[in-house]
Amino acid sequence: MVYIYLKLAFIQQFIRYFNLFLSYLHIFHAYALGYSYEFWTTTVLAHLIFEQYGVNYKSKISIYLIFKEAKFTFHKPEKASERRNKELIEKWRKEKLPIINEECKRKDTVVLVGDEAAISSQTRTQKVWLPSGDTPFVQDTTKRKLAHLYGFLNVQSGKAYTYATAAQTGEVTVSILKKLLRDNPGKRIVIVWDNASWHKSKAVRSFLETTNRFKLYNFPPYAPDLNPQEHIWKEAREKVLNNRLIKDVKIAVRKVIDFINNSIFKYRFFGLHGTFKV
C-alpha cells in the first residue's frame, strides 16, 4: 500500500514538473539558451532537455510529442518588415474598426478589402507529406512570364472579385474600379487596401472626382497581415499553383480566378485568420 502511495505521489509530481516544463516553452524563447534566434526547433528543445535533465533522445519523435503536448504546431513564421510600427497599427485599429463596422451595417454599401498579386511561371514548392528519404522533383521552366491580378473580398458576404491585368498602374486601377461599379450596381463601395502608389495616383484621384460611390481607406504601412485578401492569395497558391509546372501563365491565371471567384471565404477582419470553404 505504501508503495502504491509513493508511486502515485511520484506520478503526480512528475505531471506537475512536466506541465511546468511545457509552460516554459510558451514563456521563454531560444534566446534563453544563447541562440541568436527566438524560435523553438527540435535541436533547441533537445539541447534544453539535455541541459536540464541529462536526457539525450535518440529519436526526434519524442521531441515531436513534447511539442504536441505543449500545443505547438510545425509551421513557418510570417515575414514582417523591419519598418513595421506596432503603435501605428494599434492606433489604426482603434480608429478604423468602429468606422468600418458602421460601414458594414449599411444596406446600400459593400465593404471590400483589396490587394494585388503577381502570378509567375516559376514553379513554387510547398511542404507535403512524403515517405522518409523520398525527395521527388517538381519540374520548373526557365521561361519567366508574369501576369497580374487585382483581388477584392467582400467582408460581409465572403464573395471575392478577381481581375487579370497586364500591369499594376493608376490607369489600370481606374479600369478595375469601373469593373467594381459594374459588378455592384447601385451600391456604394468601400475599399480598404494598402498604400501602393497606384492606389493614390493622379489617374485614380481624377476618377474619384467623377463619382460619389467610392470611399477608400488605407491599411497602415508594412502591415499586410491585416488584410484578409492576403490569405486568399495564399489559399489560391496552395490549392492551384504550388508544386506544379506552369507551362502557360494565362491558363494558371484563369484557374486562380475560377478558384477564387467560385469560392466563399470567411475571414475575420483585421488580420485574424478565419475559415475557408468552397
Question: What string of pLDDT tens digits covers the 278 residues of the chain?
Answer: 545 554 455 556 656 766 777 787 888 777 777 777 788 888 888 888 888 888 888 888 888 888 888 888 887 777 778 888 999 999 999 999 889 889 988 999 999 999 999 988 776 767 667 677 777 777 777 677 778 999 999 988 889 999 999 999 999 999 999 999 999 999 999 999 999 999 999 999 999 999 999 999 999 999 988 899 998 998 888 888 766 767 788 888 899 999 999 998 877 664 433 333 33
Angle at 120 between CA 118 and CA 122, to 5 degrees: 150
Q: Does 90 lie in the same domain as 29? A: no
Angle at 20 between CA 15 and CA 24, to 5 degrees: 145
Angle at 175 between CA 173 and CA 176, to 5 degrees: 65
Q: Does 239 lie in the same domain as 115? A: yes
Q: How many CB atoms lie within 10 A of CB 238?
A: 13
Q: Does 221 lie in the same domain as 106? A: yes
- Give the integer Cα–Cα distance in Å for 248 and 245: 9
Q: Does 264 lie in the same domain as 156? A: yes
Q: Which residues lie below 8 Å from residue 199, measured CB to CB, with a gap of 6+? A: 173, 193, 216, 218
Q: Does 104 lie in the same domain as 206? A: yes
3-state secondary structure of 262: coil
- 39 found inside a domain: yes
Q: Does 160 lie in the same domain as 242? A: yes
User: Which residue(s) pair with 17 in the sheet?
Assistant: none
Q: Does 156 lie in the same domain as 44? A: no
Number of domains in the chain: 2
Q: Which of 41, 69, 97 is the endpoint of a domain?
A: 69
Q: Which residues lie below 8 Å from residue 230, measured CB to CB, with a gap of 6+? A: 115, 224
pLDDT of residue 268: 63
- 153 found inside a domain: yes
- Give the integer Cα–Cα distance in Å for 272 and 227: 9
- 130 found inside a domain: no
Q: Does 110 lie in the same domain as 52? A: no
Which residue from 64, 19, 68, 16 is spatially nearest to 42, judged by alpha carbons?
64
In this structure, are strands 109-120 and 188-193 parallel, antiparallel, or unpaired?
Answer: parallel
- 74 found inside a domain: no
- Give the integer Cα–Cα distance in Å for 215 and 227: 17
Q: Does 58 lie in the same domain as 113? A: no
Which residue from 120, 122, 183 is spatially nearest to 149, judged by alpha carbons?
120
Q: Does 99 lie in the same domain as 12? A: no
pLDDT of residue 36: 75
Q: The pTM is what?
A: 0.73
Q: Does 96 lie in the same domain as 54? A: no
- 75 found inside a domain: no
The parent domain of residue 31 ranges over: 2-69
Place of cell 539535455: 50
- 235 found inside a domain: yes
CA dist 117 to 78, 162, 252, Å? Answer: 17, 10, 13
3-state secondary structure of 191: strand
- Give the integer Cα–Cα distance in Å for 231 and 145: 23
CATH number at residue 93: 3.30.420.10
Q: Does 228 lie in the same domain as 159? A: yes
Cβ atoms of 151 and 116 closer than 8 Å:
yes
pLDDT of residue 242: 67
